[in-house]
Chain A
Protein backbone atom coordinates (compact mmCIF):
# COMPACT_ATOMS: atom_id res chain seq x y z
CA UNK A 1 0.00 0.00 0.00
CA UNK A 2 1.14 3.51 -0.74
CA UNK A 3 1.78 6.02 2.02
CA UNK A 4 3.76 9.15 2.79
CA UNK A 5 5.36 10.26 6.02
CA UNK A 6 6.14 13.88 6.73
CA UNK A 7 8.79 14.38 9.37
CA UNK A 8 8.01 17.31 11.61
CA UNK A 9 4.52 18.68 12.08
CA UNK A 10 5.89 22.19 12.54
CA UNK A 11 8.98 23.83 11.07
CA UNK A 12 10.07 27.36 11.90
CA UNK A 13 12.77 29.24 9.98
CA UNK A 14 13.96 32.81 9.79
CA UNK A 15 13.14 34.95 6.80
CA UNK A 16 15.87 34.43 4.21
CA UNK A 17 16.91 31.04 5.60
CA UNK A 18 16.76 27.69 3.85
CA UNK A 19 13.45 25.84 3.97
CA UNK A 20 13.57 22.04 4.15
CA UNK A 21 10.40 20.01 4.56
CA UNK A 22 10.86 16.26 4.66
CA UNK A 23 8.75 13.59 3.01
CA UNK A 24 9.32 9.87 2.67
CA UNK A 25 7.09 7.64 0.60
CA UNK A 26 6.27 3.99 0.59
CA UNK A 27 5.44 2.45 -2.75
CA UNK A 28 6.31 -0.70 -4.63
CA UNK A 29 6.96 1.22 -7.84
CA UNK A 30 7.99 4.82 -8.47
CA UNK A 31 4.74 6.71 -8.04
CA UNK A 32 3.53 10.17 -8.80
CA UNK A 33 4.58 12.45 -5.95
CA UNK A 34 3.25 15.88 -5.14
CA UNK A 35 3.68 18.78 -2.79
CA UNK A 36 0.61 20.87 -2.08
CA UNK A 37 0.37 24.11 -0.11
CA UNK A 38 -2.66 25.23 1.84
CA UNK A 39 -3.07 28.77 3.08
CA UNK A 40 -5.52 29.45 5.93
CA UNK A 41 -9.14 28.91 4.90
CA UNK A 42 -8.15 28.08 1.34
CA UNK A 43 -8.04 24.93 -0.77
CA UNK A 44 -5.01 22.92 -1.80
CA UNK A 45 -2.69 24.41 -4.39
CA UNK A 46 -0.22 22.28 -6.28
CA UNK A 47 3.39 23.39 -5.71
CA UNK A 48 5.11 20.77 -7.82
CA UNK A 49 4.89 17.19 -8.99
CA UNK A 50 7.20 14.32 -9.81
CA UNK A 51 6.13 12.19 -12.77
CA UNK A 52 9.40 10.36 -13.56
CA UNK A 53 10.54 12.84 -16.21
CA UNK A 54 13.26 14.37 -14.00
CA UNK A 55 14.39 13.72 -10.45
CA UNK A 56 14.81 17.41 -9.61
CA UNK A 57 11.49 19.14 -9.91
CA UNK A 58 11.00 22.88 -9.84
CA UNK A 59 7.71 24.34 -8.73
CA UNK A 60 6.06 27.63 -8.11
CA UNK A 61 7.22 30.31 -5.69
CA UNK A 62 10.85 29.17 -5.84
CA UNK A 63 10.26 25.73 -4.35
CA UNK A 64 11.87 22.57 -5.64
CA UNK A 65 12.01 18.92 -4.65
CA UNK A 66 14.32 16.05 -5.46
CA UNK A 67 13.12 12.49 -5.95
CA UNK A 68 15.60 10.02 -4.44
CA UNK A 69 14.58 6.46 -5.08
CA UNK A 70 17.39 5.00 -2.96
CA UNK A 71 16.13 6.95 0.04
CA UNK A 72 12.43 6.84 -0.91
CA UNK A 73 12.38 10.57 -0.25
CA UNK A 74 10.90 13.64 -1.89
CA UNK A 75 11.99 16.54 0.31
CA UNK A 76 10.83 20.08 -0.45
CA UNK A 77 13.33 22.95 -0.37
CA UNK A 78 13.52 26.66 -0.95
CA UNK A 79 16.83 28.52 -0.71
CA UNK A 80 15.47 31.66 0.94
CA UNK A 81 12.26 31.79 2.95
CA UNK A 82 9.79 34.62 2.54
CA UNK A 83 7.12 35.68 4.98
CA UNK A 84 4.47 34.74 2.42
CA UNK A 85 5.64 31.11 2.55
CA UNK A 86 3.98 30.61 5.93
CA UNK A 87 1.36 27.92 5.32
CA UNK A 88 0.61 24.21 5.68
CA UNK A 89 2.43 21.91 3.29
CA UNK A 90 1.31 18.43 2.31
CA UNK A 91 3.27 15.71 0.58
CA UNK A 92 1.14 13.28 -1.42
CA UNK A 93 1.50 10.11 -3.48
CA UNK A 94 -0.58 8.59 -6.23
CA UNK A 95 -0.30 5.38 -8.17
CA UNK A 96 1.52 5.59 -11.46
CA UNK A 97 -0.23 3.12 -13.67
CA UNK A 98 -3.85 3.94 -13.13
CA UNK A 99 -5.62 7.24 -13.33
CA UNK A 100 -8.18 5.70 -11.03
CA UNK A 101 -5.91 5.54 -8.02
CA UNK A 102 -6.53 7.80 -5.06
CA UNK A 103 -4.13 10.43 -3.77
CA UNK A 104 -2.74 9.69 -0.33
CA UNK A 105 -1.70 12.69 1.75
CA UNK A 106 0.75 13.04 4.58
CA UNK A 107 -0.28 14.62 7.83
CA UNK A 108 1.17 17.98 6.86
CA UNK A 109 3.92 20.32 8.03
CA UNK A 110 3.12 23.80 9.22
CA UNK A 111 5.80 26.25 8.11
CA UNK A 112 6.31 29.39 10.17
CA UNK A 113 8.61 32.22 9.13
CA UNK A 114 10.31 34.37 11.78
CA UNK A 115 11.03 38.00 10.85
Chain B
Protein backbone atom coordinates (compact mmCIF):
# COMPACT_ATOMS: atom_id res chain seq x y z
CA UNK B 1 0.00 0.00 0.00
CA UNK B 2 0.86 3.64 -0.19
CA UNK B 3 1.03 4.25 3.53
CA UNK B 4 1.10 2.67 6.96
CA UNK B 5 -2.07 0.78 7.75
CA UNK B 6 -3.37 -0.35 11.11
CA UNK B 7 -6.13 -2.72 12.10
CA UNK B 8 -8.57 -2.72 13.63
CA UNK B 9 -9.27 1.02 13.59
CA UNK B 10 -11.46 0.70 16.67
CA UNK B 11 -11.42 -1.92 19.39
CA UNK B 12 -13.62 -2.22 22.43
CA UNK B 13 -12.46 -4.68 25.05
CA UNK B 14 -13.78 -5.73 28.41
CA UNK B 15 -11.38 -5.29 31.30
CA UNK B 16 -9.19 -8.37 31.57
CA UNK B 17 -9.47 -9.29 27.91
CA UNK B 18 -6.40 -9.71 25.69
CA UNK B 19 -6.12 -7.62 22.50
CA UNK B 20 -3.85 -7.65 19.46
CA UNK B 21 -3.24 -4.61 17.30
CA UNK B 22 -1.72 -4.93 13.85
CA UNK B 23 0.55 -2.60 11.91
CA UNK B 24 1.44 -2.93 8.24
CA UNK B 25 4.37 -0.60 7.54
CA UNK B 26 5.37 0.84 4.21
CA UNK B 27 7.11 -1.83 2.19
CA UNK B 28 10.88 -1.72 2.59
CA UNK B 29 10.86 0.44 5.71
CA UNK B 30 13.40 -0.91 8.15
CA UNK B 31 12.32 0.97 11.24
CA UNK B 32 8.97 0.53 12.96
CA UNK B 33 7.69 2.36 16.01
CA UNK B 34 4.69 2.00 18.33
CA UNK B 35 3.28 4.94 20.24
CA UNK B 36 0.46 5.35 22.75
CA UNK B 37 -1.59 8.54 22.67
CA UNK B 38 -3.94 9.17 25.55
CA UNK B 39 -6.81 11.61 25.09
CA UNK B 40 -5.51 15.16 24.93
CA UNK B 41 -1.87 14.12 25.15
CA UNK B 42 1.06 13.82 22.82
CA UNK B 43 2.16 10.43 21.53
CA UNK B 44 4.31 8.50 23.99
CA UNK B 45 6.96 6.10 22.71
CA UNK B 46 6.37 2.43 23.43
CA UNK B 47 8.84 0.40 21.41
CA UNK B 48 11.04 0.35 18.32
CA UNK B 49 12.08 -2.32 15.81
CA UNK B 50 14.82 -2.35 13.26
CA UNK B 51 13.85 -5.15 10.91
CA UNK B 52 12.84 -8.01 13.22
CA UNK B 53 15.01 -6.90 16.12
CA UNK B 54 13.33 -5.05 18.96
CA UNK B 55 16.02 -2.52 19.82
CA UNK B 56 14.16 -0.42 22.34
CA UNK B 57 11.20 -1.37 24.49
CA UNK B 58 11.81 1.14 27.22
CA UNK B 59 8.38 2.74 26.78
CA UNK B 60 6.27 -0.34 27.33
CA UNK B 61 4.34 0.50 30.51
CA UNK B 62 4.18 -3.01 31.96
CA UNK B 63 4.86 -6.65 31.21
CA UNK B 64 1.29 -6.90 29.96
CA UNK B 65 2.45 -5.15 26.79
CA UNK B 66 4.29 -7.17 24.21
CA UNK B 67 5.28 -6.36 20.62
CA UNK B 68 6.71 -8.49 17.86
CA UNK B 69 7.81 -8.19 14.26
CA UNK B 70 8.91 -11.72 13.41
CA UNK B 71 9.66 -11.29 9.71
CA UNK B 72 10.70 -7.67 9.76
CA UNK B 73 7.54 -6.34 8.16
CA UNK B 74 4.14 -6.62 9.87
CA UNK B 75 4.13 -5.92 13.59
CA UNK B 76 1.67 -6.82 16.32
CA UNK B 77 1.23 -5.07 19.65
CA UNK B 78 -0.41 -7.32 22.20
CA UNK B 79 -1.90 -6.18 25.46
CA UNK B 80 -2.80 -8.85 28.00
CA UNK B 81 -5.42 -8.49 30.72
CA UNK B 82 -6.42 -5.03 29.54
CA UNK B 83 -7.17 -2.35 32.10
CA UNK B 84 -9.09 0.90 31.79
CA UNK B 85 -5.88 2.95 31.79
CA UNK B 86 -4.87 1.16 28.59
CA UNK B 87 -7.60 3.07 26.75
CA UNK B 88 -5.83 5.21 24.17
CA UNK B 89 -5.01 5.51 20.50
CA UNK B 90 -2.12 3.28 19.49
CA UNK B 91 -0.08 4.68 16.64
CA UNK B 92 2.35 2.84 14.44
CA UNK B 93 5.01 4.54 12.33
CA UNK B 94 7.59 3.28 9.86
CA UNK B 95 10.74 4.90 8.58
CA UNK B 96 13.48 4.32 6.06
CA UNK B 97 15.59 7.30 7.02
CA UNK B 98 15.82 9.17 10.31
CA UNK B 99 14.55 12.36 8.73
CA UNK B 100 11.05 11.09 8.01
CA UNK B 101 8.63 8.74 9.75
CA UNK B 102 5.21 7.93 8.36
CA UNK B 103 2.37 7.39 10.79
CA UNK B 104 -0.65 5.17 10.42
CA UNK B 105 -4.19 6.28 11.34
CA UNK B 106 -4.04 4.54 14.71
CA UNK B 107 -6.16 2.04 16.57
CA UNK B 108 -8.50 3.50 19.16
CA UNK B 109 -8.73 1.06 22.09
CA UNK B 110 -11.49 1.48 24.63
CA UNK B 111 -11.42 -0.75 27.68
CA UNK B 112 -14.70 -0.98 29.55
Partners in one complex: yes
Contacts A100-B31, A102-B33, A106-B42 given: A46-B105 contact, CB under 8 Å? no
For A51, give its contact among B56, B59, B99 (CB under 8 Å).
B99
Is chain A's interface secondary structure helix, strand, loop, or mixed overall?
A: loop
Number of interface residues of B (CB under 8 A): 28
One digit per residue, 1 when the CB lies within 8 angstroms of any chain A CB and 0 when it does not, for chain B 15-45 equals 0000000000000001101010000111111
Q: Is the CB of B98 within 8 A of A96?
A: yes
Q: Looking at the assembled complex, report how far the CB atom of A89 sits from the nearest CB atom of chain B, in whole angstroms.
A: 10
B106 touches A49 (CB 8 A): no
Interface status of A18 (Cβ within 8 A of chain B): no
Cα(A36)–Cα(B99), bound, Å: 13
Does B60 sit at the interface, judged by CB under 8 A?
no
The answer to whether B31 and A99 have CB atoms under 8 Å apart is yes
CA distance A95 to B56 in the complex (A): 14
By a beta-carbon cutoff of 8 Å, the part of chain B in contact with chain A is: 30-31, 33, 35, 40-45, 48, 50, 55-56, 59, 91, 93, 95, 97-106
